[in-house]
């Protein structure tokens, strides 16, 4: 089936819904699929990720292999 036709059919079905709980559920599904995970992170988590990226860009990191080898000995 053509994607445009499928979208139109979904819109028609939504327009026929009278139950507010079903509409709320559809709304929540659509919002959750379109949101960026970054928006769900705390400020602390965002700062830590940014710090990690900065450290990698500055060459302040260990290769996984060398890190693991030290801990396996």
Domain ranges of the chain: 1-35, 37-73
Phi-psi region of 63 (alpha: psi -120 to 50; beta: other; left: phi over 0): beta
The pLDDT value recorded for residue 28 is 86
Rounded average pLDDT over 40-44: 92
State residue 24's pLDDT score: 94
| In the predicted structure, residue 34 carries a pLDDT above the cut 70 | no
Q: Is the pTM of this model over 0.75?
A: no
* Sequence-separated (6 or more) residues with CB below 8 Å from residue 44: none
DSSP letter, residue 29: H
């Amino acid at each position: 089936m053509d994607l445009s036709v499928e979208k139109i059919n979904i819109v028609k079905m939504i327009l026929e819904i009278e139950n507010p709980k079903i509409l709320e559920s559809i709304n929540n599904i659509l919002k959750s699929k379109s949101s960026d995970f970054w928006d769900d992170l705390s400020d602390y988590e965002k700062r830590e990720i940014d710090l990690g990226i900065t450290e990698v860009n500055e060459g302040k990191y260990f290769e996984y292999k060398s890190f693991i080898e030290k801990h396996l000995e």
